[in-house]
Amino acid sequence: MMVDRKEIAHLGDLVKVDLKDPEKYIAQVEQILNYFEGLDKVDFKSEKTLRNEIQYDDLREDKYEKFSSDGRPLVDFLKKAQDNFVRAPKMI
Amino acid sequence: MTKIGLEIHCQLTRLESKLFCPCKADYRNLPPNTNICPVCAGLPGSLPILNKKAVEKAAMISLALDCKVPDKISFFRKNYFYPDLPKNFQITQYNAYGPTSIGSDGAVQIEGKEIRIRRIQLEEDPGRLVYEGSSEKTQITLVDYNRAGTPLVEIVTEPDFENPRQVRIFLNVLADLVENLGVSDPYLEGAMRVDGNISVGSGNRVEIKNVGSFRDIEKALHFEITRQQSLVERNIEVAAETRHWDEARKITVSARSKEEEQDYRYLPEADIPVISITGGQIEKLRTQMPESIMAKRERYVKKYGIPAQVAEVLSSDKFYSDLFEKSHSAGNAKAIANIITTDLMGFADTREKKMELKVTPRHIADLADAIVGNKLTRNSGKAALYEMIKTGRPLAEVVSSLDLGNLSDASSLEKIIDEVFKEEEKAVAEARQNPSTINYLVGKVMRKTKGKADPAITLEILKKRLS
Amino acid sequence: MSLDISATEYLSLVREGGLSVEEFVAKTLERIAKVEDRLHAFITIDSQKSAERARAIDKKIKAGERTGVLAGMPVSVKDNICSTGMRTTCASKMLEGFVPPYDATVVSRLKAEDAIILGKVNLDEFAMGSTTEFSCFGPSRNPWNTDYVPGGSSGGSGVSVSALECMASLGSDTGGSVRSPASFCSVVGLKPTYGLVSRYGLVSYSNSIEQVGPVARRVEDIALLMNVIAGHDPHDDTTAKRKPDDYVQDLDAGIKGKRIGLVKQMAGEGLEKEVSSATEAALARLQDLGAECVTVSLDAIEHSVAAYYTIASAEASSNLARYDNLRYGFDFGNEGYEFKAYVSKVRGNFGPEVTRRMLLGAFVLSAGYYGKYYLKAQQVRAMIKSQIDDAFKTVDLLVSPTMPILPYKIGEKIDDPLKLYLLDINTITANLAGIPAISVPFAISSAGLPIGMQLLANSFEEKALLQAAFSLQQSTRLPGVPI
């Protein structure tokens, strides 16, 4: 697996991180991915994977409960703009 | 040939709490960000706790659409950044690594055509964005997370529709179905949203998003067919792309962002273990499901002899079929079906109007009994019904105050018929010659009695006197 | 009054009125003030509230009121576990200023039993690292030699417990993050069975494998804490429904007749010489204590580092997506920005190790690669679990050195991430398989650096695990911390 500037920039875009020093990551990521490639050579006897299970009957009952933290609503803990809205940047 | 497939998002509006937390499922009409908790606002350290009833309702939709419900159900994360998504991923279901969504491989028949259902998945709705400021420069985005995490069922069909008309019929059937199941109120704003994909001939597939209503999806599809056909005629290849419906201009526009290139990096949602559901539990859910519209329709026809067309109209409407169920008896079922489908449905055809009706099952039963027992004519019955709808007063009271009772005693009718014979000598003579004109005289009697004369008895007397 | 006292002993003294919580907590705070500038275990210290709580508990005891089983016990909590009224930073610039509106379940359970949370302790940013050097607040230092790393990512937990700055600590263990600092700082650290302890309020890094785990100086204190924090939590669907054992009862049952398997792949060529000889000594000791020692081979371990980092990076890239600073976190005005530009810019404030893992995670999950990396990693995981299940058919416990090498100098390996990853080889197996594992102090090297031994048991066999760990502890005499 070769990792180049373009690939690192693409990965940075997927996880939305501006890489101040992309060069720094190229060699390391390439080295680690090459190490990961060993996984491809494993000879598996079974296809199964490990997952926890929960019984349908043990799922949460459908009950409304109002959240409060010491009597304060959650929005008090968030950054807010006008009218308790959260402000986001332009979407265009 | 045109091929159309649909993705329908249907909110499970009948739940009390959200899909993964105990906040209210009904987010409507609440001040911004007042219906949120650490889970649905995506705070660090919070964990989703799956709502059992949401699984139950989604399973019911799956069963009603003839889907397979697997014994292991699992959730995945769909990763993308958007400000209405508090965790910057959506918890949803994904079948690329085996069928683990709540339903798959179903089918619906519409007018003899089979529409296959590819899969049904349970997922969370994002929050809501509000844009302020008119120009691009001044625009700001405000986010309200009240809706974030409310339960949504996505129904994905195979591209089995051949034209927009089938789409419309299917959507109506689906809306009636989820309402009948008691899982959703499809007529609430935003409760049912449709995306489509369409290809003409061997051309590329085009996704249509951002469609506000059922009516608009039909328009959008019509527009697309015309657009794609005209491209084909000019030998221009149809681009595989996502297009947005522009409601104002009634056209589809290419989405500028390359959405089809999004890499969602699906991965299993480890915070929600695989849900193990037994065949017995699924069967139990099946027995708890309300009778299907189809079964209802058949019962109406077979058991009560209600005409097929009336049964179809009645069974498809949850509100009115419920009213029918609560009011009918063996003797008056047919009359009630008639009253509801011919008088009531025309009067109150919207959700708001239905809610305002003051009429109870008792009113309907009394009314039908009176008509069946010849105590009221159909006409007087209609008048009584409209009065009861508005006032909620009992039938007996309405009949006496409006003086609607049937004139069925022979002597009173004889007197009135005497008067008619005096006034209508020419018509009487004609009726003697030609008995088919007798209805004119019946009409005269009706007018004189303001519709209260029992038509059967009236006819009987008239015939006797004319012979 | 010594601060180096077991919690079990301390609590009974307090309960009987023989020791004032206020005094003990004051002395602990003095100790913190004295050593912190050399160790940097804490991110936040709440002296005032701690002193108030201490006084309140003394008052309750004097009045004969009912108190919790941890009444007056001063503890620290890793700063990726949410606590109301105290900022939770995950040692990241991204969470600057974030004060959670809720307590993690483990925190509320400690509070309900009247423990005193002195403060929040240091870690690698979002628990990604094994040295505590990747903290945005700077590294913690090993109390046995402050030029050396204390292990990680729960470095602050290991340091604060080892250096007598608190009696016990809660850490989190994703790939060894509790056991590595326990081993490097000569304290006890337990990674419980996945699903035994609630993760509600633990800030997720790799949510399919991590657990909150206790750190203490004594095995009996670990048992005591487990009695409080273990058990089903309605806020965490991954917690098991079963009722947890009483870990304190019969802790001294011994290990006579137990079969203990040394894991071949954890004791091979990669071991530093002194670690290797300590391991041999540990096996001899276990045999002296009545256990039968054998060697067990788990060949899937060969792929465990690749599998672990594939899964952990993938999950991390998703778990950390929520940090966009729109709702909480450090102030970064978004006015004038377009959304994508804003998000990328603000998220540029993650540190290098977190960034690296997110990039790796994005890669292994991206279209076309899922089957090659992530799915394979999950299959390795299942393979490891199945080999471990087989092993536990013939042995009761497994053993290995916790870390293959001795503590190393701060800065020594920070620029070689793969080398650091490979040092997790002995600890990650328990995380991938979901089984419990504990690190117990066993020896001090010629240069005065701690060496810990790891014991592993099958899922939910914490009781047997703690009994064995207790036996090993009781037969070991080690010098006190030099600082």
Read off the tokens for B112: 């003899």
What's the CA gap between C149 and C143, in Å, rounded?
A: 9
User: Which of C237, C306, C379 is closest, CB to CB, to A49?
Assistant: C379
Is the separation of the CB atoms in A83 and C336 below 8 Å?
no
Tell me which DSSP letter residue B252 carries: E
CB contact under 8 A, B270 and C208: yes
In a domain, C158, yes or no: yes
Is C309 a residue whose pLDDT tops 90?
A: yes
Retrieve residue B370's tokens: 């009176």
Amino acid present at B438: I
CA quadruple B133, B130, A14, C201: dihedral sign:
positive
Model pLDDT, residue B17 = 98
Chain A residues within 8 A of B144 when measuring between CB atoms: 85-86
Residues of C with active-site annotation: 78, 153, 177
Q: Count of domains in chain C?
A: 1
Supply the pLDDT for residue B427: 86
Who contacts C295 (Cβ-Cβ below 8 Å, separation ≥6)?
Answer: C261, C262, C264
Percent above pLDDT 70 for chain B: 97
Q: Mean per-residue pLDDT for B43-52?
A: 98
CA distances from A23 to A26, B22, B99, C364 (A): 5, 46, 42, 20
- For C319, nearest residue in chain B (alpha carbons): B87
What is the side-by-side order of every strand in the sheet holding C168-173? C42-45, C116-121, C74-78, C168-173, C211-216, C188-191, C437-444, C450-456, C397-401, C259-263, C292-296
pLDDT of residue B136: 66
Structure confidence at residue B372 as a pLDDT band (50, 70, 90): confident
Q: What average pLDDT is seen over chain C? A: 97
**Whether B79 and C317 lie within 8 Å, measured CB to CB:** yes
Instruction: Work out the end-to-end distance of chain C between its first and last CA atoms, rounded to an integer number of angstroms.
Output: 18
Instruction: Determine, yes or no, domain membership for C113.
Output: yes
Q: Does residue B134 carry a pLDDT above 50? A: yes
Beta-carbon contacts of C474 under 8 Å, excluding residues fewer than 6 positions away, are C252
Answer whether residue C98 is part of any domain. yes
Give the integer Cα–Cα distance in Å for B241 and B260.
7
Asked if the structure places residue C278 within a domain, the reply is no
Distance CA C375, CA C373 (A): 6
Q: Shortest CB distance from C339 goes to which of A11, A49, A89? A: A89
Identify the weakest region by mean pLDDT among B440-444, C3-7, C89-93, C154-158: B440-444
C153 cis-preceded (ω within 30 degrees of 0): yes
pLDDT exceeds 60 at position B257? no
Residue C313 located in a structural domain: no
Q: What is the pLDDT of residue B260?
A: 47
More confident residue, C365 or A2: C365
The rounded distance, in Å, linking the Cα atoms of B341 and B324 is: 10
| pLDDT at residue B137, rounded to an integer | 67
Q: How close C11 gets to chain A, by Cα (Å)?
A: 30
- ipTM of the shown complex: 0.96
Shortest distance between the Cα of A29 and any Cα of chain B, in A, equals: 18
Q: What is the dihedral of CA C160, C163, C168, C170, to 10 degrees?
A: 30
For C368, the token pair is: 């076309």
Query: Which carries the bigger pLDDT value, residue B441 or residue C100?
Result: C100
Instruction: Read off the pLDDT of residues B52-61 as tens digits, 9 standing for 90 and up.
Output: 999 999 999 9
Least confident of B66-75, B173-182, B418-427, C45-54: B418-427
Whole-prediction pTM: 0.92
Which residues are CB-neighbours of B396 under 8 A, at least 6 positions away? B366
Strands B76-79 and B267-268: antiparallel
Angle between helices C219-229 and C7-15 (to 10 degrees): 70
pLDDT band at C185 (very low <50, low <70, confident <90, very high): very high
pLDDT band at B376 (very low <50, low <70, confident <90, very high): confident
- The DSSP symbol for B118 reads E
- CA-based angle B336:B337:B338, to the nearest 5? 85
Instruction: Using an 8 Å CB-CB cutoff, list chain B residues near A91.
Output: 83, 129, 131, 139, 141
Q: Which residues of A touch B (CB under 8 A)?
A: 14, 16, 51-57, 59-67, 73-75, 78, 80-92
Of B22, B24, B32, the CB nearest to A85: B32
Q: Which domains does chain B have, with CATH numbers?
A: 2-282 (no CATH), 291-402 (no CATH), 410-466 (1.10.10.410)
For residue A92, the model assigns a pLDDT of 65
Contacts of A53 in chain C (CB under 8 A): none
C356 and A25 in contact by Cβ < 8 A?
A: yes
Residue A25 has what pLDDT? Answer: 94
Question: Per residue in C216-248, pLDDT tens?
Answer: 999 999 999 999 999 999 999 999 999 999 999
In this prediction, residue C347 has a pLDDT band, given cuts at 50, 70 and 90, of: very high
Cβ atoms C123, C44 nearer than 8 A: no
Q: Is B77 helix (H, G, I), strand (E, B) or coil?
A: strand
Buried b (16+ CB within 10 A) or exposed e, C361-399: bbbbbbeebbebbbbbbbbbbbbbbbbbeebbeebbbbb
**CA B171 to mean position of chain CA atoms:** 9
**The tokens of A28 are what?**
């390391």
Size of interface B-C (CB pairs under 8 A): 104
Tell me if C247 sits within 8 A of C196, measured CB to CB: no
| Sign of CA pseudo-dihedral B48, B51, B57, B59 | positive
Which residues on C lie below 8 Å from A38 (Cβ)? Answer: 303, 306
Which string of DSSP letters, residue by residue, matches C73-136? -EEEEETTB--TTS---TT-GGGTT---SS--HHHHHHHHTT-EEEEEE--SGGG--SSS-S-T
C-alpha span between B362 and B371 (Å, rounded)? 14
Confidence category of residue B261, pLDDT binned at 50, 70, 90: low
pLDDT at position B397, please?
Answer: 87
Decide if B253 contacts B72 (C-beta within 8 A): no
CATH code, domain carrying C462:
3.90.1300.10
Q: Please answer whether residues C42 and C165 qualify as being in contact, where contact means their C-beta atoms are separated by less than 8 angstroms.
A: yes
